[in-house]
Amino acid sequence: MSDFNLRDGDTIDFLLSRRSILARMMDGPGPDDQDLRKIMEAGMRVPDHGRLAPWRFIVIRGDARERLGATLGAAFLKNNPDAIEEQVELERERLTRAPVVIAVVSRTVKEHKIPEWEQILSSGAACQTMLIAALSMGYAAQWITEWYAYDPEVKQTLGLDTDDQIAGFLYLGHEAEEPTERNRPDYNDIVSEWMPTD
C-alpha cells in the first residue's frame, strides 16, 4: 500500500499523483465507522449551489453486498437471457470485490431556480471528493458507474425514488497489489486560452 497521504506531502503533489485502485485489486479491511463518516462528511462539503444537498449516500457492506448482489445477478440474467452461469455469478459477486461500497445517489430538486444540471454536477463532485478523501487516508478507492447503476430493479432494491439517479458506486478497501499508471491526456490537447478577436 502507498504510504503517501496528505499529512506527508503537499496537496498538489497528492492530486498530481492520484490513482484509483481497481476494485478487483482490493482487499480488506475497509474503512471503519469513524473513517467512513469522515469520507462521507467530506463529500457533503462539495459546492452545492442553493444548499439543496442534491445527493444521498447509501453504505453497502457485510452481508448486504451479497444480498444486493443477488439482485444484480437476477437483473443481469433478465437483461441477458442467453448469459452463461459464470457470467451471472460474476455479476452477483461484483459488490464483494471491496469491503465497503457507497452508492452515491443524485436526487435533484425539480422546478427549482438552481438548474438541475448544477445539482447533478454536485453529485459528481461528491463522488470525486469522497474518492480523494479515501485515498488521502490510505485506503484503496475506485469510482465505478456500470450497468447496474442504471438498472431499474437495482435502484428499486436500494429504495430509490423514480427520478433518482446513481452517480456511481465508490468501492473502498486496501490495496491487494500495486496499481500501474495509465496514460493521461496531453496537456496541450486539452488546454486552450480564449482570446477576443476584436
Q: What is the chain's pLDDT, residue by residue, as a tens digit (198 residues)?
A: 445 454 555 788 888 878 788 888 888 899 999 999 999 999 999 988 889 999 999 999 999 999 999 999 999 999 999 999 999 999 999 999 999 999 999 999 888 899 889 999 999 999 999 999 999 999 999 999 999 999 999 999 999 998 999 999 999 998 877 777 778 889 899 898 888 988
56, β-bridge pairs = 105
Output the CA torsion 108→102→85→151 (10° steps): 0
The domains of the chain are located at: 17-61+98-177
* 17-61+98-177: CATH class: alpha beta
How many alpha carbons lie under 13 Å from residue 50 in its C-beta half-sphere?
16
Containing 125, the helix (H) or strand (E) segment is: helix 116-136
